[in-house]
Chain A
Amino acid sequence: MVDRADINSEGASTRSSGARMSTAEADAWFRAEVLPLEAMLMQFLQQNWRNASDVPDLRQEVYARVYQAACEGLPERPKQYVFATARNLLINRMRQGQVIPIEAASDLEALEIAADAPGPEQAAIARDELRHLQAALDRLPPRAREVILLRRVEGLSRPEIATRMGITEGTVSQHLEHGLRALVEILGGDPPSVRRQP
């Protein structure tokens, strides 16, 4: 279960007092309003948390809290709500820890500011979606990339992909699953505006 007792009044104030959402409504809202913020959210978490390996788990925790809150009524300002939730989570984690990480403590004020700062150009990302996807694919292990391309570009079935690549269907599945996870991580963690090739 997700505990959201620590979402403070500021976070709550951005929420409408609407009726309880259906799962389908909450899902659609989450896809449309929250997931596109992932690159910004990752940047925020990475900048404000010392241990980089915690960041994916923190992100999922933020998502879970935001989703659960949305079931009670959709926040009016999704972006502010997501970042307020992230900030509260980080502050809580720091308090729970025996030792407050020095970098994190010195950034407590920055946490406030970063939440309001504009993120990478969402419009630019949408315009460059295909190029962005291709760049992300280029960073995948070759075989995972090949499976995704054979599926999405050539529309091959699993047995066809297996035959084409000379691997078992089980291995095709493995490559698809690993490839998808890595791809989403790359798409969310590395917006093109941050890592532009020289």
Chain B
Amino acid sequence: MSEPQTIDAIAAQWIRRKEFGDWNEAAERDFQSWLDQSVLHRVAYLRLEEGWKRTERLAALRLPEFRRAEPSRAPRRWTMLLQIAAAVVLVAVLGVAGDAYFLHAPEDTYVTPVGGREILTLFDGSHVELNTDTVLRLGKHRRSATLVKGEAFFQIKHDANDPFVVMASGHRITDLGTKFSVRGDAGGKLEVSLLEGKARIENTDSSQSRAAVLIPGDVAVATTETLKVTRKPVATLANTIGWRRGVVIFRHMALADAASEFNRYNLKKLIVDPKIAGLTIDGTFATDNLETFARIARIALGLHVESREREIIITR
């Protein structure tokens, strides 16, 4: 994304957060300081916000019959009940998350749900984009971050005197002027892809030290015992961050891997019979578009697709 597009994406995010009541004092403060950072921020926000206000007119499309058909008081009470129910659920969720993450650093932990995505702007203009199901903690001085879970893309304003540091799965990644993506999986495997600039990765958790300097195209895969760096064309690497545009891109990807990629974004899960897990698939899909994926498996690969309430099962 070019700089103005990033600004636009962030402006849309503020509007969405206000619209859905995802707002508090801290958000208001962050929002005001973002607006004050640059006139480009302010005009982008005003433009989208004005557009959003225009859509208010769509309320005119509400069917009058619908309103008349209801007893005059009933719909209001129903809405109130719904709001109360939603509020309780929200508190419960916050409560759980609060214990786990917010105890130590209340304002510095950022969480995205399954299917979610969030762009953070740091004070120096650096951007961090969080992918689905991710937890990231920002350090006190905003020049360090810990990826607790999930995946993040870092677009860092380089400062040689104060390099940005990312901690993840027992490794330290130090920016040497960079755009890079970091992904940790449940098994403790860590993947760092470098798109621009330079970064250093080193382990922090074992006595035997391993380190590598990454240049564009490098993909480092690290576990507690190993650190392996392979080189890919930068264009191929760009596919792995398709999520920044809301898509997953598969090039000759094994069906099982493609399915687990989809499953990161959706509550409804794809389950692939191990016998056909090795078949490969190509294509670009919206991260939530399971239907098209299933259709291609059925039509192009001739597989049997069974859709249930919470899962889609693919067999021969």
Contact = CB atoms under 8 A, between A and B. Distances in A.
Nearest to B66: A154
Interface in B15-61: 15-16, 19-20, 38-40, 42-44, 46-48, 50-52, 54-61
Given A60-B40, A169-B116, A181-B8, A30 B61 contact: no
B193 interface: no
Contacts of A168: 113-116, 265-267, 288
A130 B57 contact: yes
A30 to B, nearest CB: 6
Nearest to B58: A152
A21 interface: no
Given A68-B39, A130-B60, A157 B20 contact: yes
A174 interface: yes
A64 B37 CA distance: 12
Interface size class of A (residues with CB under 8 A): 35 or more
A57 B113 CA distance: 31
A21 to B, nearest CB: 13
B19 A151 contact: yes
A35 interface: yes
Majority SS at the chain A contact face: helix
Given A31-B50, A177-B16, A181-B8, A63 B116 contact: no
Interface of A: 1-2, 27, 30-31, 35, 38, 56-57, 60-61, 63-64, 67-68, 129-130, 133-134, 137, 143, 148-149, 151-155, 157-160, 166-171, 173-174, 176-178, 180-181, 183-184, 187-188
Given A67-B43, A148-B58, A168-B267, 17 more contacts: A2-B40, A30-B46, A35-B50, A56-B4, A57-B2, A63-B43, A64-B39, A64-B42, A64-B43, A149-B58, A154-B62, A167-B115, A168-B265, A170-B114, A171-B287, A176-B19, A177-B15
Interface of B: 2, 4, 7-9, 12-13, 15-16, 19-20, 38-40, 42-44, 46-48, 50-52, 54-62, 82-83, 86, 89, 112-117, 132, 246, 265-268, 286-288
